[in-house]
Structure 1
Amino acid sequence: MSAQFPAARPRRLRRTPALRRLVAETRLAPADLVLPVFVKEGIAEPQPVASMPGVFQHTRDSLRKAAHEAAEAGVGGLILFGIPAEKDAAGSAADDPDGIVQLALRDLSSDLGDATVIMTDLCLDEYTDHGHCGLLTPSGEIDNDATLERYASIALAQAEAGAAVVGPSGMMDGQVAAIREALDGAGYSGTAILGYSVKYASAYYGPFREAAECAPQFGDRSTHQQDPANADESLREVFLDLDEGADMVMVKPAGAYLDIVRRVRDAVDVPVVAYQVSGEYAMIEAAAEKGWIDRDRTIMESLLSIRRAGADITLTYWATEVARRL
């Protein structure tokens, strides 16, 4: 039985910053952070994203600079999102050997070597003229199985260009199995798959869709992304992806789904990744700009909460800044 006051005084361990650091239960490290970056074809200068202060659509050259800065700060990885100059219904630029992401992958692989992990988003929404994550049927619905063939082809293009990890984010049924089979069959068995296993149909993605220029031209993504009302379904999705060959699993968004992060962490023995998405970033930046919150403390508190919930790795647009601070 624990002691009672006055013998029990938990405040003793909170008296100084040094004591608080010594007994902290949860810690952040630069190597646990991944920086999402956007690279756009056909621009001469990096373009600021209005809804995400401090975030840019990069040129190949400015991306190389940002990647070097992240690696020098100790950031564990970068994940690339591409914006092609031309889009079509099939998202043809996604697996073009000379597509913007494949070119950027070769740049970064050459520049950075093993200094940080280069990951890719593997989806079609940034590349299709309709803004959806897959091929469409004549009636305008997403054709799940035809889309899997495109995902397999994109995975091969990205692996050949140097991606260490591919992250299928489209939430198509069977996507991990199709990608794993394609990679293994082409000799890329060492390329890891980060399953976007638990991706909710969230309102927090708005600023990202500006940054990646991928807002749906009609409808929404609720037919394939998970219903925010559901929690048990998350574990089913996770176990399906693991059975199909995923090496890591993701929960997205992070902040509003910390309960899901914890449930997944308790259920699996692979790395759990959480994505602190664009809406989470934008809200903190906007409130801080108004002077309503302490920006730096709020950023750190938000990341600690994700880590405390059980995430091993966090995707965050503050990765480089926070890594330097740590």
Structure 2
Amino acid sequence: MTRITIVSDAWYPQVNGVVRSIENTNRELLRMGVEVFMVTPKDFANIPCPTYPEIRLSIASYGQVADAIEATLPTAVHIATEGPLGLLARRWCLKNNMSFSTSYHTRFPEYVAARFPVPLRWLHAFVRWFHNAGNGCMVATASLERELTKLGIHNLLRWSRGIDQTVFHPMERDERPFDLPRPIFMTVGRVAVEKNLPAFLALDLPGSKVVVGDGPARADLQKRYPDVLFTGMKIGEELAHAYAQADVFVFPSKTDTFGNTILEALASGVPVAAYPVTGPIDIIEDGSGAGALNEDLREACMQALGCSRENARQLARNFSWESASRQFLGNVLTAQSRKALIAPAP
């Protein structure tokens, strides 16, 4: 039996694209008869990340992480993140001559550079060093694969994403949702600097703007944009109902590697407005009528307002977690079959 141990620095109580992708993939893998074990910050002492306290950074020793991995008796190891646990898991794999896969969920260099004065070229060198030690690096889209190839990252494998359409689907729409006038322009996700939210919040748009989510930038943005409704975090049925009330879903980020919230909006029957960057350009197909991409985000918003809700729903049907999880499993097995690329660590 295949026994996959996934090591991730991102896990609950965080709620983000990394956590949701792993959670949904694990559910499907279990249905396929694959045993999955997680090694996460909850297993160790941890501290809040500077500038982003919702993220917990493990302060585990190499021995503790080694023991945690070895206790699962893995036939395959997947390292999901480049954080403290990911680094120690990488060291364990190399020391034990264990082939492993990794995934590039977020633009780690840009994420760090937005918070700390670290040159991007150093951070790019770090991600090359980290991911090229493995036997396969999973990426969500073709455009991201091209970007990482230019950065010198090898053995790239495609791992798409899915959407649970039993949770996210069109619902009855309130005449005046959130007690606000339509049209409702909504964004959902972490309220953090890398999400480029001011590009949306500062737009002159008809109707109302709504931000669903929480994060370290929320208090500042609420002060700067008092006319915008910030609902805080929503999950489950409450989140699905919020999506369904929107007229346009706005995705202002230029740093995401996919954008799970785009799929959630589409499945809810909500057209999407975004910049033509990695993630949106891989999901919003030309001529689909499910949204609009434009370097002028306001223009994209107004174009999306005229798009079909049924077209949005139809596009979302192309994405399933079962298909994405089969991709993930195939990638893990491919990585395990490859000979280690570099010598084991001493």
Whether these two folds match at TM > 0.5 is no
TM-score where L is the length of structure 2? 0.34
What TM-score comes out, normalization by structure 1 length?
Answer: 0.36
